């Protein structure tokens, strides 16, 4: 709908430049969605790399087609001056509840950028994540005429401050109809029940870009692995052994599968996972995260602990599997389940969640299907979503394609080599 609105404005001669600000985990999706749905001329760039590289990309965005720049919230406030100088005519704030806190840097930047732009859209399924006071910052970006420019004036009008130290806002019952009326004066809301029948499962591929150093290491390892194949016998075992090293690297580590011996060379997937986790917690949804390698599991757990997020875990060596599952299923204070793909795929019911993130995959069709069935089984009342984190331009894409197509991955790679192709590219 946002793409259609941008196209209509562009065709009417009202806009020439559109800025999309989105969480890190979904910036790449906009490129794909424009490709699917834009029936008008456009040029789109996802701003990547250093601040200077992002600014340089902006400076070179010219032409008669609609110019679309996509950037994440963290980068948007750091690039505020450059984005303002680019003079967008339309700003789309995707997952707009990211700016629900009015006084953080990202929100302030979006308020200032929005004030200089004629057209603004904010997309979110959860404008109110925890407290109704969350709406102020989002509406200040959209149209400050709705609730004004002053947070404190808004708060004093609509809320009582209660609790210890008077820090807890409670919506005044007498003001609830007025707040709702004002919110809906510029909002369009569609519920799942009003939409077309949803599929029982949805697959979402999140393309992750490795950092330059990790990407260079990966390409070096690709060439080394191919050269080694040329020097010896090409067997399924040899091919899968080399594929294993490449898969480890896309997950952020190089070296042994043992955490003590592996060197972390990338946090690209971890950063995207953190973004997905933040959204799930804000929306009060539980999340299952599946990974293959021990170092990956360690990094995921360390990130959760740093964020003070409680989690259950089932991996090799864990003895209290039933207790771990029960905590996740029954305790609202345990929002995340972390599982190792080879050990968490059998005998577990994880229907407290309807979203599963595959941080990494092994090559077993059985493990893949069994893991997916942990949330999509008797007792599940919601459509299930599977999110696959795949490092762009790597073997991750081949592995996922083979699993989804139920193809024999090893045979496919050996055949690639025998046809004269590099099986790891």
Domain range list for the chain: 2-189, 196-425
Q: pLDDT digits over 36-84, tens only?
A: 999 999 999 999 888 999 999 999 998 999 999 999 999 999 999 999 9
Q: What is the pLDDT of residue 302?
A: 97
Q: What is the pLDDT of residue 258?
A: 52
Q: Is-contact 244 251, C-beta < 8 A?
A: no
Spatial distance between the Cα atoms of 168 and 179, rounded to a whole number of angstroms: 18
Structure tokens at 313: 């875990």
Q: pLDDT-based confidence at 126, cuts 50/70/90?
A: confident
Q: pLDDT-based confidence at 366, cuts 50/70/90?
A: confident
Write phi, then psi, for 384 (nearest 5 degrees): -100, 145
Q: pLDDT digits over 285-337, tens only?
A: 999 999 999 999 999 999 999 999 999 999 988 888 889 999 999 999 999 99
Residue 423 pLDDT exceeds 80: no
The residues near 399 (Cβ < 8 Å, ≥ 6 apart) are: 243, 247, 361, 363, 409
A 10 A CB-CB count for 356 gives 23
Q: pLDDT digits over 227-282, tens only?
A: 887 777 777 787 888 888 999 999 999 875 554 578 999 999 999 999 999 989 98
Q: pLDDT digits over 167-208, tens only?
A: 889 999 999 999 999 999 999 988 766 665 556 889 999 999
Q: What is the pLDDT of residue 93?
A: 97
Q: pLDDT digits over 139-153, tens only?
A: 999 999 999 999 999
Write down the CATH number for the domain with range 196-425.
3.40.50.300
Q: pLDDT-based confidence at 414, cuts 50/70/90?
A: confident
Residue 380 pLDDT exceeds 90: no
Q: What is the pLDDT of residue 415?
A: 78
Structure tokens at 92: 């789309």
Q: What is the pLDDT of residue 404?
A: 87
Q: Is-contact 125 187, C-beta < 8 A?
A: no
Residue 405 pLDDT exceeds 90: no
Domains 2-189 and 196-425 share a fold: yes
Q: What is the pLDDT of residue 213?
A: 94
A 10 A CB-CB count for 379 gives 10
Spatial distance between the Cα atoms of 225 and 232, rounded to a whole number of angstroms: 11
- What does the pLDDT average to over 107-120? 97
Residue 338 pLDDT exceeds 60: yes
The residues near 166 (Cβ < 8 Å, ≥ 6 apart) are: none
Q: Is-contact 336 300, C-beta < 8 A?
A: no
The residues near 268 (Cβ < 8 Å, ≥ 6 apart) are: 208, 209, 210, 211, 214, 252, 391
Q: What is the pLDDT of residue 92?
A: 98
Distance of CA 392 to the CA centre of its chain: 14
Q: What is the pLDDT of residue 257?
A: 52
Q: pLDDT-based confidence at 210, cuts 50/70/90?
A: very high
Q: What is the pLDDT of residue 60?
A: 92
- What does the pLDDT average to over 100-104? 92
Write phi, then psi, for 349 (nearest 5 degrees): -115, 120
A 10 A CB-CB count for 156 gives 11
Tell me the fold of 2-189.
Rossmann fold (3.40.50)
Q: What is the pLDDT of residue 264?
A: 93
A 10 A CB-CB count for 116 gives 11
Spatial distance between the Cα atoms of 274 and 66, rounded to a whole number of angstroms: 32
User: Maximum CA pair distance of the chain?
Assistant: 79
Spatial distance between the Cα atoms of 289 and 298, rounded to a whole number of angstroms: 12
pTM for the predicted model, two decimal places:
0.76
Structure tokens at 373: 């069935």
């Amino acid at each position: 709908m946002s793409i259609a609105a941008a196209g209509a404005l562009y065709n009417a001669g009202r806009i020439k430049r559109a800025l999309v600000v989105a969480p890190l985990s979904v910036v790449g999706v906009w490129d794909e969605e424009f490709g699917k749905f834009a029936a008008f001329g456009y040029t789109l760039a996802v701003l990547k790399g250093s601040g200077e590289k992002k600014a340089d990309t902006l400076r070179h965005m010219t032409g008669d087609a609609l110019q679309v720049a996509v950037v994440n919230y963290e980068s948007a406030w750091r690039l505020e001056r450059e984005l303002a100088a680019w003079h967008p005519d339309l700003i789309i704030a995707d997952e707009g509840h990211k700016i629900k806190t009015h006084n953080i840097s990202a929100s302030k930047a979006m308020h200032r950028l929005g004030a200089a732009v004629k057209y603004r859209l904010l997309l979110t399924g959860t404008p109110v994540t925890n407290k109704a006071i969350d709406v102020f910052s989002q509406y200040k970006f959209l149209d400050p005429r709705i609730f004004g420019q002053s947070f404190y004036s808004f708060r004093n009008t609509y809320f009582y401050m209660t609790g210890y130290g008077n820090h807890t806002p409670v919506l005044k019952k007498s003001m609830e109809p007025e707040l709702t009326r004002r919110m809906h004066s510029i909002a369009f809301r569609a519920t799942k029940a009003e939409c077309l029948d949803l599929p029982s499962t949805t697959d979402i591929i999140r393309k992750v870009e490795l950092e330059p150093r990790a990407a260079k290491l990966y390409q070096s390892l690709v060439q080394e692995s191919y050269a080694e194949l040329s020097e010896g016998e090409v067997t399924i075992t040899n091919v899968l052994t080399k594929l294993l090293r490449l898969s480890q690297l896309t997950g952020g580590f190089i070296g042994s599968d043992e955490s003590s011996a592996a060197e972390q060379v990338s946090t690209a997937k971890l950063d995207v996972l953190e973004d997905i986790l933040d959204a799930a917690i804000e929306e009060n949804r539980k999340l299952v995260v599946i990974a293959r390698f021990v170092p990956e599991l360690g990094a995921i757990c360390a990130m959760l602990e740093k964020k003070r997020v409680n989690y259950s875990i089932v991996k090799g060596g864990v003895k209290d599997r039933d207790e771990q599952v029960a905590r996740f299923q029954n305790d609202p204070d345990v929002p995340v389940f972390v599982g190792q793909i080879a050990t968490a795929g059998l005998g577990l019911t994880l229907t407290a969640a309807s979203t599963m993130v595959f941080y990494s995959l092994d090559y077993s069709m059985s493990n893949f299907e069994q893991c997916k069935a942990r949330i999509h089984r008797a007792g599940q009342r919601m459509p299930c979503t599977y999110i696959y984190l795949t490092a762009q331009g790597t073997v991750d894409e081949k592995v996922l394609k083979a699993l989804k197509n139920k193809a024999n991955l090893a045979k496919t790679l050996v055949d690639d080599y025998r046809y004269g192709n590099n099986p790891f590219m």
